[in-house]
């Protein structure tokens, strides 16, 4: 009798758990567009992407290795249009940004420029990773 109740409980739990889907942001369908090691000062870096990497409507940033204070980023599209996105976030190592929606539909990204500083005196040099969807 106890075995039947245990099996029934397990089957009910599995059915209930399988009825939920993961939110869009927790799925693993982000493409890594590139990475840049950041300097130990106020700086600007450019990540060149290009048409071969595909069309994107969303970006996400992640930091590994150290800490960095991100100020803004400028996304330049394939047609020459630019989109300035204020970030103003202090990334600790192993943290990521919010999902950043780009203007318009899916677009070719030519390059992304980052403005940041490392006034937080991080002991290790940070690496900024960019993902697109």
Which domain does 34 fall in, by range?
29-132
Instruction: Tokens 């799925």: give the residue.
Output: 27
The answer to whether position 37 is within a domain reads yes
The answer to whether position 21 is within a domain reads no
Residue 130: its H or E element:
strand 127-132
The answer to whether position 7 is within a domain reads no
| Span of 24-38, 79-93, 99-113, 116-130 with lowest mean pLDDT | 24-38
How does pLDDT run across 109-131, given as a tens digit for each residue? 999 999 998 776 667 888 999 99
The answer to whether position 105 is within a domain reads yes
Q: Is the pLDDT of residue 54 over 90?
A: no
What's the CA gap between 133 and 131, in Å, rounded? 7
pLDDT of residue 120: 61
Across the range 52-59, mean pLDDT stands at 89
The answer to whether position 106 is within a domain reads yes
What's the CA gap between 126 and 37, in Å, rounded? 6
What's the CA gap between 67 and 51, in Å, rounded? 30
The answer to whether position 4 is within a domain reads no
CATH of the domain at 100: 2.60.120.260
The answer to whether position 76 is within a domain reads yes
* Residue of higher predicted confidence among 18 and 131: 131
Domain tally, the chain: 1
**Count of residues making up the chain:** 133
The answer to whether position 46 is within a domain reads yes
DSSP string, 45-94: EEEE--GGG-EESEEEEEEESS-EEEEEEEEEETTS-EEEEEEEEEEPTT
C-alpha neighbours within 13 Å on the C-beta side of residue 98 = 8
């Amino acid at each position: 009798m106890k075995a039947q109740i245990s099996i029934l409980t397990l089957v009910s739990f599995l059915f209930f758990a399988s009825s939920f889907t993961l939110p869009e942001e927790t799925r693993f369908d982000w493409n890594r567009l590139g990475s840049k090691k950041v300097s130990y000062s106020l700086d600007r870096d450019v990540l060149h992407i290009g048409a071969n990497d595909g069309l994107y409507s969303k970006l996400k940033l992640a930091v590994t290795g150290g800490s960095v204070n991100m100020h803004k980023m400028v996304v330049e599209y394939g047609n020459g249009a630019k989109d300035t996105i204020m970030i103003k976030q202090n990334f600790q190592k192993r943290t990521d940004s919010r999902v950043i929606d780009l203007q318009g539909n899916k677009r070719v990204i030519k390059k992304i420029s980052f403005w940041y500083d490392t006034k937080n005196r991080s002991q290790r040099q940070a690496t900024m990773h960019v993902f697109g969807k």
